Amino acid sequence: MSPAGSPRVPLRKMGLFELIAAGATFMAPAFSLAAIFPVIALMGGSLTPIGVLLGALAAILVALSFAEMSRHHTRAGGAYAIVGGEIHPIAGFAAGWGLTLLYLLGPAIPLILVVSSLEVIFPPLAGVLVPLTIAVALSVFLINALGLKPSTRIAFLFFVAEAAILLSVSAVLFSKPAVALPAISGTFSVLNAVGYSAIFTVFLFLGLESVTTFSEEAHAPARDVARGTVIAIAIAALIYVTTSLAFTRSVSPMNWGLGFSVALTNTLGSGWNIPLAIVVLTSSMGALIAVENTCARLFFAMGRDKVLPPALSRLVGGGKAPIIALGISAVVTAGIVVWTEAVASSLAAPVGFVLNILPAMLTMGALLAYLLVSLSALRRGLRNRQWIWSLVPLGGVIVTGFLIGIQFDPFSPLFSEPVLLGMVAWYVVGGILLVGSLLWTSREPEPLDVPSSLGIVAGE
Q: How far apart are CA 437 and CA 431, in angstroms?
A: 10
pLDDT score, position 42: 78
Q: Judge whether 98 lies within some domain.
A: yes
39-66 as b/e: b if 16+ CB within 10 A? bbbbbbbebbbebbbbbbbbbbbbbbbb
CA dist list (Å): 274 to 125, 126, 151, 256, 380? 15, 16, 26, 19, 50
pLDDT at 429: 92
**Residue 3 forms part of a structural domain:** no
Give the structural domain span for 133: 16-455
Helix (H, G, I), strand (E, B) or coil at 1: coil
State residue 228's pLDDT score: 93
Residue 359's pLDDT band (boundaries 50, 70, 90)? confident
Q: How much helix, strand and coil, in percent to the nearest 5, is found in the chain? A: 75, 0, 25
Global confidence as pTM: 0.84
3-state secondary structure 104-121: HHCCHHHHHHHHHHHHHH
The answer, yes or no, to whether residue 449 has pLDDT greater than 60, is no
pLDDT at 7 over 50: no
Q: How far is CA 422 from CA 64, 184, 203, 370, 418, in A?
A: 30, 30, 18, 19, 6
Q: How far is residue 190 from each of residues 21, 48, 353, measured CA to CA in Å?
A: 37, 11, 29
57 assigned to some structural domain: yes
Residues 6 or more apart whose CB falls under 8 angstroms from that of 382 comprise 390
Q: How many C-beta neighbours within 10 Å does residue 238 have?
A: 13
Mean of the pLDDT values across residues 409-426?
Answer: 79
Strand ranges in 391-435 using DSSP code E only, listed in sequence order:
none
Q: Tens digits of per-residue pLDDT, 34-75?
A: 667 777 877 787 888 888 888 888 889 999 999 999 999 988
Cα distance between residue 188 and residue 48, in whole Å: 13
Q: Which of 26-30, 142-146, 297-301, 392-396 has the lowest mean pLDDT?
A: 26-30
Domain count, the chain: 1
1 in a structural domain: no
Asked, for residue 460, whether it belongs to a domain, the answer is no
* Cα–Cα distance for residue pair 208/235, rounded to 1 Å: 11
Q: What count of other Cβ atoms lies within 10 Å of the Cβ of residue 78?
A: 31
Report whether pLDDT(421) > 50.
Answer: yes
**Residue 458 pLDDT:** 35
Q: Which whole number is the average pLDDT over 416-433?
A: 88
For the cut 60, the answer to whether the pLDDT of residue 186 exceeds it is: no
According to DSSP, residue 318 is labeled T
Confidence band, pLDDT 50/70/90 cuts, at residue 355: low
Instruction: Give the model's pLDDT for residue 321.
Output: 87
Closest of 241, 260, 253, 263 to residue 185, by C-alpha: 253
Write the pLDDT tens digit of every residue in 124-179. Answer: 887 788 899 999 999 999 999 998 889 999 999 998 888 888 888 889 989 988 88
DSSP 124: G
Packing angle between helix 79-86 and helix 89-100, nearest 10 degrees?
160
CA dihedral 108, 112, 117, 122 (to 10 degrees): 130
* pLDDT tens-digit map of 202-224: 888 888 999 999 988 888 888 99
The CATH number of the domain where 219 resides is what? 1.20.1740.10
Distance of CA 221 to the CA centre of its chain: 21
For 241-278, the pLDDT digits (tens) are 888 888 888 888 888 777 777 888 888 887 888 888 88
Residues 6+ apart with CB under 8 A from 141: 292, 326, 327, 329, 330
Four-point Cα dihedral 159, 292, 34, 165, nearest 10 = 10
Phi, psi of 440 (to 5 degrees): -65, -35
Examine residue 120 and state whether it is found in any structural domain, yes or no. yes
The answer to whether residue 141 is domain-embedded is yes
Structure confidence at residue 453 (pLDDT) = 35
What is the rounded average pLDDT of the residues 93-103? 93
On whether residue 5 sits in a domain, the answer given is no
More confident residue, 238 or 353: 238
Question: For residue 203, which amino acid is it?
Answer: F
- Pair 111, 358: CB distance under 8 Å: no
User: Mean pLDDT score of the chain, rounded to an integer?
Assistant: 83
Question: Which residues have C-beta within 8 Å of that of residue 298, sequence separation ≥ 6?
Answer: 76, 77, 78, 80, 96, 99, 100, 103, 213
Paired residues of 316 in beta bridges: 321
Residues sharing a CB contact under 8 Å with residue 381, sequence separation 6 or more, in sequence order: 387, 389, 390, 392, 393
- pLDDT tens per residue across span 301-343: 998 888 888 888 888 877 788 899 999 999 999 998 888 876 6
Tally the C-alpha atoms within 13 A of residue 148's C-alpha that lie toward its C-beta: 30
Of 195 and 104, the one with more pLDDT: 104
